[in-house]
Chain A
């Protein structure tokens, strides 16, 4: 990479990494993993910098690498993850109903499958259009619509939301009936 391209890359990182770090955080749910994910994505971008002819497409490239890398990591370390019974601390927590709802949404978002979560983040945080999301994810607009729709349905059905504020019309939604474990299994 020549000096000009290297300087371009440095400028890009300086300008965009704070924003992209937030997206990485929403994709991973963890600050440490977000830093790792973004660093990996930007390192891959650095190695591909001269192949990305359209500089306006760089954000899309980085987002795509983040989504793919996150999926790849998740597949490979499924059994390494440890969870805790205790909810994480939330700085600046405000005990109002809206904050409770937002916390509940965040918790429910963490339970979505990776692909659904990625699409929700791209659509509702990055504010990408369905077509832009389709381009980043490499799928059709129809798939974005159906996947996002299923993700929102899952969020609505989330027990966290349902048990949060039953009197709130935003969350008082019917409980789904198709997802219950039973006790034993016949041979």
Chain B
């Protein structure tokens, strides 16, 4: 054991030791449970509305809806949005009040800054058309707000930082658009949060990537800390606009804004793709970056990994994995769904199912599509049941799951996630069904843009293809 190990252990113990217990933890928990139940009930009502909307949308000759039904994401709200039931306590630290930072709003957008030439020659219209096309909506439905632009010489290449939204929708983004050989290219697209005070836009560079920080024009100063603590000024491109080159791991980096009233706010820099998980980790490039859900079941997972190793004909020690979900049901079936891979190879979704009185079952999926929006596993032969159980594991923070058992284009019914399953959905499925359909909505509940809409059997294809 190294000296650092010992010091770290001691530092954590000392730091934690000053935290007194909460006076009455149960009271707060019970209030929160009641609120979660109320939210679930409200969600169920919204889901019914969604089902009705889905019927309407199933009518032939669909027209794009400009007012999709918004439904909150499946995950719990952050603490800033959910008032704590815990009485204020004096901790070992006191945070200053949040400054009144100017938030970006489409209703009163920040002024355009930079080279006005970028707005001419039809570039803005072309960029708007490109963004509309990417969203599958008409150009007229899009509101694209130019915020900062510059033209690079001698190439004449233009770059524009923008915010855009589909009118009447919560679907909003910010990013950059550049002129390219094949027309405008949208880069660094980021969902626009309603409380955003600075738009952080990574852009590719000839040698190193750069980061634009675009804030309100009256922002006094923009600084960057590569280690999260040592700040230096960003290159001043225009009032409230800064630029800095990025190198290495940006996962701890921070951008700091100083406002006219002297208050400051710091926000984490966006992580460059792959910067926090270097290739030396040996993680497969197709790994789904989803959190583990369900109850930890180390021994079950270990048996699954051994089963996978045996199926692949490799030693157990050559196999790595990340668990997606562990579950069990009343008849005593226990199962784990994980991403497994032989070191140096790509990952594949694997399910291991243990049913009382039967041999364990290993289900191997094809090599995982890294953009997969949902994973599904079918539990069959469950003792005492006449139906199969479909376990649907959507990407975290996606929205409602809808199921159509007939697959005839009829009404898909909303399916609620059970408490504690973090969005994982269990569906009773008729044995041998082959036409049933699953729909997974995005976090905004946008019926026009489900993250998945297709046949269940396509999700259950085995390693060697679909039966």
Contacts and interface: CB of A to CB of B under 8 A. Distances in A.
A136 B293 CA distance: 10
Interface residues of B, number: 115
Nearest to A24: B19
Given A32-B86, A82-B95, A82-B266, A92 B18 contact: yes
Interface in B141-173: 152, 155, 157, 159
A48 B159 contact: no
Interface in B59-97: 75-80, 82, 84-86, 88-96
B86 A47 contact: no
B353 interface: no
A50 B298 CA distance: 19
Nearest to B233: A183
A108 B336 CA distance: 36
A138 B226 contact: no
Given A32-B86, A106-B15, A181-B232, A77 B80 contact: yes
Given A82-B95, A89-B94, A68 B293 contact: yes
Nearest to A180: B247
B180 interface: no
Contact of B226 (A61, A110, A125, A181): A181
24 contacts: A25-B15, A25-B16, A32-B79, A35-B22, A35-B84, A48-B295, A64-B296, A72-B396, A73-B78, A77-B79, A91-B92, A101-B7, A102-B15, A138-B296, A138-B324, A139-B323, A178-B247, A179-B227, A180-B247, A181-B245, A181-B247, A182-B244, A184-B245, A186-B206
Contacts of B205: 185-187
Contacts of B419: 44, 47-48
Nearest to A173: B4
Given A39-B29, A187-B155, A102 B7 contact: yes
Contacts of B36: 43-44, 47
A76 B78 contact: yes
Contacts of B251: 113
Contact of A121 (B12, B88, B320): B12
Contacts of A140: 305, 319-322
A18 B21 CA distance: 5
Contact of A68 (B26, B33, B292): B292
A135 B323 CA distance: 9
A33 B79 contact: yes
A81 B195 CA distance: 11
A48 B420 contact: yes
Interface in A42-70: 42-48, 51-54, 57, 60-61, 64, 68-69
Contacts of B86: 32, 35-36, 39
A143 B76 contact: no
Q: Among the interface residues A18, A72, A85, A136, which one has the most CB atoms of the partner chain B within 10 A?
A: A72
Interface string B379-422: 00000000000000000110000000000000000000011111
B209 interface: yes
A30 B292 contact: no
Give the interface centre of A73, A124, A187 by most chain B CB atoms within 10 Å.
A187
A113 B249 CA distance: 10
A113 B21 contact: no
A186 B207 contact: yes
A170 B197 contact: no
Interface string B9-30: 1111111111101100110110
Given A61-B295, A82-B265, A182-B245, A187 B29 contact: no
Contacts of A84: 95-96, 264
A53 B328 contact: yes
Interface in A3-39: 10, 13-14, 17-18, 21-23, 25-26, 30-39
A57 B91 CA distance: 30
Contacts of B252: 111-113, 154
B315 interface: no
A105 B224 contact: no
Contacts of A181: 224, 226, 232, 244-247
Contacts of B243: 184-185
B42 to A, nearest CB: 16
A181 B272 CA distance: 13
Nearest to B343: A142
A25 B33 CA distance: 21
A17 B23 CA distance: 11
B261 interface: no
Contacts of B14: 102
Contacts of A154: 252
Contact of A79 (B85, B198, B206): B198
Contacts of A89: 92-94
Contacts of B321: 139-140
Interface string A125-145: 101000110111111101100
Given A31-B19, A39-B29, 14 more contacts: A51-B420, A68-B291, A83-B264, A84-B95, A84-B264, A102-B15, A107-B229, A109-B8, A132-B298, A138-B322, A139-B321, A140-B322, A156-B4, A187-B155
A71 B227 contact: no
B292 A139 contact: yes
B9 A124 contact: yes
Contacts of B130: none
